[in-house]
Amino acid sequence: MAHLSSDQALPAPIAVGGPQATPRRRTRPCLAPAVTRYLLVPAALVGAWQAACSLGVVDPAVIASPIEVAQAGVRLAKEGVLWTDLSVSARRAALGFALGLVVGVVTGVTAGLWQRAESVIDSPIQILNTIPFLALVPLFILWFGIGEKPKVILIATGAAIPIYLNLVSAIRNVDVRLIEMAQTLGVSRRRLVGRVLLPGALPGTLVGLRMALAFSVIGLVAAEQINADAGIGYMMEAARQFLRTDEIFLGLALYALFGLAASAFVTLLERLLLAWQPRFAGR
C-alpha cells in the first residue's frame, strides 16, 4: 500500500472494506507558520517603524509614522477621494491584466501547440521582451493619447509577455513520455491537448501568471505617473506637491496591498488547481 506523508494533498477518505494501516485522509498543516507569516512578522515590522518614529530616531518630515499614515487614510476616506482613487486604480489594473491575460493565453497556446504559429509570433514577442516595457510609455502616449487607453494597454503589455513566454515553454516541456502514452492509446488530438498538454502546462503557466500580476502592478504605478487625474498615483503626485509624506506612504501601502492581493490570488489558484502535485514545502 502507498505510504503517505502527513502533508500530501489527498482527496477525501475512501471507504474500503479491507483493513488499511494508513487512513487516506488529508491532515491539516500546522497553523502556526501561517500566523507567523501573515500576522506576527508584519505586526513586528510596523511596530518597529512606529517606535522609530515615536522615539524621534527618524525625521517625521522624511518618514511618516504608521499612525500618521492611517490617519491620512481615514482623512482621505472621509473626504471621499480615497475610494475614488482606489477604485480607479483597481479598475485600470484589472482591465489591463485581463486584457494581457487573454492576449498572453491565446498567443501562448497557439504558439505552444502549432510550430508554424510559433515561428510567426515568437520573434516579435522575444524582441518586445528585451525592451523593458516601461520604456514604451512615451510611445503609447503618442499612439493612444493620455486617457485610460495607454494606461490599460501598458499594463496589458506587461502582463501578456510573461504569460506568453511561460505558457509556450510549459507546453513544450510537458513530459514527452506522457505524450507517447497518449499516442499509444490512440486518443484524439483534442483529448491530447485538453488532458495532457494544457494540464501539464498549468504549473509553468501559474508561474507566468504570478509574474504577470507583479508586472501589472508595476505597469499601474508607471502609468499613473503620467497625466492621471485620478488613482493612487495621482493621489501621491498631489501629495508630493504639498509635501504630504504621510499620503505618499499611504499610496505606497495601497500599492503593496495590490501586490499582496495578487500574490494571494495566485497562491489560492495553485492550491486549487495543483492539488495533484505533492510539493516540497521547505523544512
Confirm or reject binding of residue 2 to other proteins (CB under 8 A): yes
| Sequence-ordered alpha helix ranges (H) in the chain | 32-35, 41-54, 66-79, 81-113, 115-130, 137-144, 148-172, 176-184, 189-192, 198-224, 232-241, 245-273
User: Which residue among 10, 46, 98, 226 contacts other proteins (CB under 8 A)?
Assistant: 10
Which among 10-18, 47-55, 112-120, 124-132 is the span making contact with other proteins, rule CB under 8 A?
Answer: 10-18
Cα-Cα-Cα-Cα dihedral of 232, 233, 235, 236, to 10°? Answer: 120
Closest CA to 281 of 271, 167, 25, 200: 271
Which among 62-70, 104-112, 159-167, 195-203 is the span making contact with other proteins, rule CB under 8 A?
Answer: 195-203
Q: Apex CA 96: angle with CA 95 and CA 100, to 5°?
A: 115
* CB-based contacts of 277, cutoff 8 Å, min separation 6: 9, 203
Confirm or reject binding of residue 138 to other proteins (CB under 8 A): no
Nearer to other proteins, 15 or 57 (CB): 15
Contact mark string toward other proteins, 161..190, x via CB under 8 A: ----------------xx-xxxxxxxx---
Which among 43-51, 83-91, 192-200, 257-265 is the span making contact with other proteins, rule CB under 8 A?
Answer: 192-200
Confirm or reject binding of residue 3 to other proteins (CB under 8 A): yes
Contact mark string toward other proteins, 14..33, x via CB under 8 A: x-x-x-x---x---------
Confirm or reject binding of residue 269 to other proteins (CB under 8 A): no
How many CA atoms lie within 13 Å of 78's alpha carbon, on the beta-carbon side? Answer: 5
| Phi, psi values for residue 229, rounded to 5° | -110, 5
Residues that bind other proteins (CB under 8 A): 1-4, 8-12, 14, 16, 18, 20, 24, 177-178, 180-187, 191, 195-196, 199-200, 202, 275-278
